[in-house]
Amino acid sequence: MTRRWQAPQRGAVDPSFGPSSSGGVATELDADEHWAVPGAVAVPELVELLDLADQGRPWLRSRVLCQVALGEHQLPVPVLTLGSTRADAPVALFVGGVHGLERIGAQAVLAYLRSLVMRLRWDDSLHHQLDTVRLVFVPVLNPGGMWLGTRANPNGVDLMRSAPVDADEPVALLAGGHRISAALPWYRGKLGAPAEVEATALCQVVETELQRSPFVLALDCHSGFGLSDRLWFPWACSRAPMPHVAELHALGQIMDASLIHHRYVLEPQSRQYLTHGDLWDHLYRRAIDRGTGLLLPLTLEMGSWLWVKKNPRQLFSRRGIFNPELAHRQQRVLRRHLGGLDFITRAAASWQRWLPQGAARQQHQDQAMVRWYGPRR
Ligand SMILES: [Zn+2]
């Protein structure tokens, strides 16, 4: 049993974490089903999600990935899919609500999904775009944490510290992930315990898409670190460059050129801090080992310290540290990221036009090494 949670060697991956341990990955993410949320649910984002699932029919397909137990309630973790059902279509995946406290991440994904659902009714260009790309949404991965207002899931496990990946050098005490107690934040879970249902659900979504699609661009929306909006890519577990820095550098180049005046800082997460157990490290490493489909995972870390700076009273509420509390600021934040999320969709749809090959790839590789892994300027 302990073997399943030991850190895999670099390049090797623990096959027992996630959906594969129970007989392979389900491939029915596109099925449409009617589902409900408990009557007295205290997660407004889940109610919004249910409304969008209804309003988006027949284009938007939805199903429940798993149920999370919380007291007498079972909270659904829904996945919604839009666009091409062709196996070889590229995929843009949007994830939110991994940390229950960081509601603004879920809200950013839902705001983008709502704008798409409304456009489906009148915008031919959107329908044309959706012929070429599949959009997959998991806006509320941790509904129990959102209900409770906690970073962790109801078991006290921080999903982004729970994967079987150990950092290759010492990490910050507690915040880098620990196994001391579920009563403390950033808890990784017990060594040898089975994967949390929410983590398994995310692995299932990613691996189902990677089994059939040649390209998956993922964006996982968080908040709570720093003054800038950061787009992080692996590794979180190591300062070493990940194998696709050339591709990420090329993505950054088209973003700078076309998403004019954007405020995102694109960089490896390891430039800020290292952690154990990052789910995207795990999924990315697994994707490389499997060799089917290219996964480029990004984490959007919205810079919440700016909201606190402008409204210092937020410091006195736990929620306020992670979310803009004034309505106009919340609207501004959501509005700003609509363009960023739409860029991800477009980049996924047209991946073959910008993904560098041959000599161009080598150039991007060299530039990426200077930009992100050289001495700090
Ligand atoms: Zn987070």
Q: What is the pLDDT of residues 136-191, one digit of tens each?
A: 999 999 999 999 999 999 999 999 999 999 999 999 999 999 999 999 999 999 99
For residue 53, pLDDT over 80 is answered with yes
The yes-or-no verdict on residue 254 having pLDDT over 50 is: yes
* Ligand 1 centroid from CA 301, angstroms: 7
Q: How far is the CA of 328 from the centre of ligand 1 (A)?
A: 23
Separation between Cα atoms, residue 268 and residue 256, nearest integer Å: 17
pLDDT digits (tens, 9 = 90+) for 322-366: 778 777 778 888 888 999 999 999 999 999 999 999 999 999 999
CA distance 125 to 131: 10
Q: In this predicted structure, what is the pLDDT of residue 20?
A: 53
Position 15 scores a pLDDT of 57
Contacts of 253 (CB under 8 A, 6+ apart): 354, 364
- C-alpha of residue 303 to centroid of ligand 1, in Å: 11
Q: Residue-wise over 178-191: b if at least 16 C-beta within 10 A, else e?
A: beeebeebbbbbee
Residue 71, Ramachandran bin (φ over 0: left; ψ between -120 and 50: alpha; else beta)? left
Ligand 1 center from residue 262 Cα (angstroms): 21
Q: What is the pTM of this model?
A: 0.92
Tell me how far apart the alpha carbons of residues 90 and 8 are, in angstroms, rounded to a whole number.
29
Nearest CA-CA partner of 53 in 145, 143, 131, 139:
139
pLDDT at position 307 = 67
How would you classify residue 307: left for phi > 0, otherwise alpha for psi between -120 and 50, otherwise beta? alpha
CA–CA separation, 314 and 298 (whole Å): 28
| Residues, CB-to-ion distance under 5 Å, ligand 1 | 99, 102, 222
Residue 350 CA to ligand 1 center (angstroms) comes to 29
Q: State in Å: Cα 360 to ligand 1 middle.
A: 34
For residues 193 and 294, is the Cβ–Cβ distance under 8 A? no
- Condensed to tens digits (0 to 9), the pLDDT of residues 281-333 reads 999 999 999 998 999 999 999 987 776 777 777 766 777 777 787 777 788 88
Rounded Cα gap, residues 363 and 327, in angstroms: 45
The Cα 92–Cα 41 span in angstroms is: 29
Q: How far is the CA of 151 from the centre of ligand 1 (A)?
A: 7
SS3 349: helix
Can you tell me the mean pLDDT for 74-90? 96
3-18 mean pLDDT: 47
Q: Where on the phi/psi map is residue 45: left (φ > 0), alpha (ψ -120 to 50), or beta? A: alpha
Q: Ligand 1 centre from 362 Cα, in Å?
A: 33
Confidence of residue 227 (pLDDT cuts 50, 70, 90): confident
User: 159 alpha carbon to ligand 1 midpoint, in Å?
Assistant: 9
**Strand pairing class (91-96; 215-223):** parallel
Please tell me the predicted confidence (pLDDT) of residue 5: 29
Confidence of residue 1 (pLDDT cuts 50, 70, 90): very low
| Size (the chain), residues | 377
Whether the ω angle into residue 186 lies within 30 degrees of 0, i.e. cis, is no
In whole angstroms, give the CA distance from residue 211 to residue 107: 29
What is the set of domains in the chain, with CATH numbers?
2-373 (3.40.630.10)
Q: Where are the alpha helices (DSSP H) in 259-326?
A: 279-290, 305-310, 318-322
Q: How many whole angstroms from 300 Cα to the centroid of ligand 1?
A: 9
Say which residue the tokens 């060299």 belong to: 366
Nearest-angstrom CA–CA distance, 18 and 86:
25
CA 78 – ligand 1 centroid, Å: 19
